[in-house]
Amino acid sequence: MSDKILKINDGFILRSVKGADGDEKFVVITVGEASKKLNGMITLNSTSVFVWKMLEKGATRNEIITAVANEYEVETSVVENDINELLDKIIKYGVVNG
């Protein structure tokens, strides 16, 4: 399971929306078949955006967990559960090939 390369499925598109004070929020917009799996849009926090960008290129669970741990300068054990939970959720919604 941990060696499988996970990738975002077609039709799920990450973009950002800007605000008047220069702030921005990241959103995922669905088009085509993807909009049947997930209607509407989702906003992502900064960790989710980081994970998403890895999934756009394709990455294994272990690669993602390691990268997030390095990004936040913590041990992998600190982030492992949360990242696995996030990945399980987006696989369940058909966003990523599971």
Partner 1 sequence: MYFNVKIADVIIGVNYKYDYTFKVFSDYIVSNELTPAFTVNVTDEMIEFERKVNEKFPPSLVENIAVFRYIAKEVIKNYNCILFHSSAIAYDDNAFLFTAKSGTGKSTHVKMLANADSKISYVNDDKPFIRYFENENKFYVYGTPWMGKHNLGSNVRVPLKAVCFLTRGETNSITKVNPLDYLNEIFTQTVKPNEVNSVDSFTNVISALTTNVDFYLLKCNLHDDAPLTSLNGMIKKYAK
Query: Interface with partner 1 by CB under 8 A: which residues?
Result: 11, 13, 15-20, 23-25, 27, 29, 31-32, 35, 40-41, 43
Q: Residue 30 carries which side chain, given as an amino acid letter?
A: T
Closest approach of partner 1 to the CB of residue 33, in Å: 10
* CB-nearer residue toward partner 1: 3 or 22: 22
- Give the separation between CA 66 and CA 70, rounded to whole angstroms: 6
Closest approach of partner 1 to the CB of residue 17, in Å: 5
* CB-nearer residue toward partner 1: 13 or 69: 13
Closest approach of partner 1 to the CB of residue 21, in Å: 8
**Residue 80 to residues 32, 47, 56, 86, Cα–Cα distance (Å):** 33, 13, 20, 10
* CB-nearer residue toward partner 1: 18 or 57: 18
Element (H, E) at 66: helix 61-72
Judging by beta carbons within 10 Å of its beta carbon (0-12, 13-18, 19+), is residue 8 exposed, middle or buried? buried
